């Protein structure tokens, strides 16, 4: 186990390195933090920390920089979450309050988070797996052409065109609409299939094929839209990444464009509480020099989606975590209101 002072030294190294972006040496450390020991002592501690794998030197006779393991220890044991200032809190609230619909909420959130953390922000749309159906609408566009509209309790609307095997009458359609709604409104997506299974039986044989088609499309939409979408922003902040640009930034941009990658990333995070994945802890190769701070958010106590930021492993963890947590809370509130 590391002694108290050595932990203190590690904390100091992380803080300084995050601030200056340069390897930090023993002398500078003793000057900037009032450790009450001499540089030589600190050097011994640093050697020990290096043996344990918490820090490393880029080259012999350079200062030390934290390793992923070092950051991990820092985040777990040494750093708290820095709360936002109250002006910041007010700004968040004001900014989010202006949103008019779900797209707008997500858009504003992503911009806000990017600004606050000065990093790349990722916000997942509220997931539909735990959502319930608010309304199903069927519109006859042409004799054998329908549009299915699905409205969820999170305010999301999805539509699908349906080509029917046979024309369907307006009254049958109204009937179907009514029955459908009486069965599924307020129900969770996962419940829907079993609830509508026997619906065709209530109708004339002529219409059953069409009705089956409609139901199939509905189920398909439910499944398909369970795949989550997300929005990202603040990519310009990547330019503040480091000195060795193209090599670092390229894979990150590529990863960010692959929504699948990001969804997996967020998916791996814990459902509740904040998750910090540091450097190589992220499976994806392109993100091995980035950290991801993410947290679930939701309208109630249950998290319906996640949001977070992607930044260099050398980031201000307490500040970032504070911002992420605060934003998630306010978004949750906004969603609960609407």
Residue ranges in contact with a second copy by CB under 8 A: 100-101, 134-135, 137, 139, 141, 147, 149, 151, 155, 157-161, 224, 233-236, 238-239, 245-246, 249-250, 253-254, 256-257, 338
Site string for DNA, 255-274 (x = CB under 7 A): --------------------
CB atoms within 10 A of CB 238: 21
Q: Given candidates 44, 93, 283, 338, which one binds DNA under the rule CB under 7 A?
A: 44
Q: Which residues pair with 147 in a beta bridge?
A: 139, 161
- Per rule CB under 7 A, is residue 15 in the interface with DNA? no
How far apart CA 228 and CA 148 sit, in angstroms, is 20
Work out what residue 249 binds among a second copy, DNA, none; the CB cut-off runs from 5 to 8 Å by kind.
a second copy
Q: Given candidates 2, 37, 99, 149, which one binds DNA under the rule CB under 7 A?
A: 37
- Per rule CB under 7 A, is residue 174 in the interface with DNA? no
- Per rule CB under 7 A, is residue 25 in the interface with DNA? yes
Residues 6+ apart with CB under 8 A from 88: 116, 326
If residue 292 lies in a helix (H) or strand (E), which one and from where to where? strand 290-297
- Per rule CB under 7 A, is residue 229 in the interface with DNA? no
Work out what residue 62 binds among a second copy, DNA, none; the CB cut-off runs from 5 to 8 Å by kind.
DNA
- Tokens (6 digits) for 312: 């260099």
Q: What is the DSSP letter of 295?
A: E
CB-CB contact of 23 with 17 (8 Å): yes
- Per rule CB under 7 A, is residue 38 in the interface with DNA? yes
Q: What part of residues 51-110 is at the interface with DNA (CB under 7 A)? A: 57, 59-64
Q: What is the DSSP letter of 99?
A: -
Q: Given candidates 43, 69, 208, 329, which one binds DNA under the rule CB under 7 A?
A: 43
CB of 40 to a second copy, least distance (A): 39
- Tokens (6 digits) for 144: 């054998």
Place of tokens 């499309």: 217
- Rg of the Cα atoms in the chain: 26
- Per rule CB under 7 A, is residue 26 in the interface with DNA? yes
Cα–Cα–Cα angle for 164, 170, 175, nearest 5°?
Answer: 95
**Using CB under 7 A as the criterion, which residues of the chain lie in contact with DNA when the complex forms?**
5, 23-28, 36-41, 43-44, 46-47, 50, 57, 59-64
């Amino acid at each position: 186990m590391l002694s108290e002072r050595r932990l203190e030294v590690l904390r100091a190294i992380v803080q300084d390195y995050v601030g200056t972006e340069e390897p930090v040496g023993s002398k500078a450390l003793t000057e900037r933090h009032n450790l009450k020991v001499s540089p030589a002592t600190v050097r011994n501690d640093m050697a020990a920390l290096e043996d344990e794998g918490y820090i490393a030197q880029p080259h012999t006779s350079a200062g030390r920089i934290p390793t992923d393991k070092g950051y991990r220890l820092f985040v777990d044991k040494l750093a708290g979450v820095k709360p936002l200032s109250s002006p910041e809190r007010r700004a968040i609230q004001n900014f989010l309050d202006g949103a008019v619909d779900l797209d707008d909420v997500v858009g504003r959130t992503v911009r806000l988070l990017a600004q606050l953390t000065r990093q790349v922000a990722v916000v997942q749309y509220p997931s539909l797996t735990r959502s319930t159906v608010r309304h199903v609408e069927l519109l006859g566009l042409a004799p054998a052409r329908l549009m299915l509209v699905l409205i969820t309790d999170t305010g999301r609307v999805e539509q699908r065109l349906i080509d029917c095997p046979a024309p369907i009458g307006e009254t049958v359609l109204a009937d179907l609409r009514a029955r459908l709604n009486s069965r599924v409104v307020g129900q969770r997506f996962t419940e829907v299939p079993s609830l509508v299974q026997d619906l065709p039986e209530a109708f004339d044989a002529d219409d059953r094929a069409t009705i089956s088609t409609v139901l199939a499309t509905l189920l398909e939409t439910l499944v398909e839209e369970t795949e989550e979408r997300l929005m990202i922003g603040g990519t310009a902040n990547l330019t503040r990444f480091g000195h060795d640009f193209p090599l670092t930034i390229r894979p990150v941009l590529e990863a960010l464009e692959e929504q699948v990658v990001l969804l997996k990333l967020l998916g791996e995070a814990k459902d509740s509480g904040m998750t910090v994945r540091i450097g190589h802890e992220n499976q994806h190769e392109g993100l091995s020099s980035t950290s991801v701070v993410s947290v679930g958010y939701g309208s109630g106590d249950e998290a319906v989606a996640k949001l977070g930021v992607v930044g260099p492993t050398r980031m201000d963890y307490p500040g970032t975590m504070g911002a992420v947590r605060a934003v998630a809370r306010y978004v949750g509130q906004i969603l609960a209101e609407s």
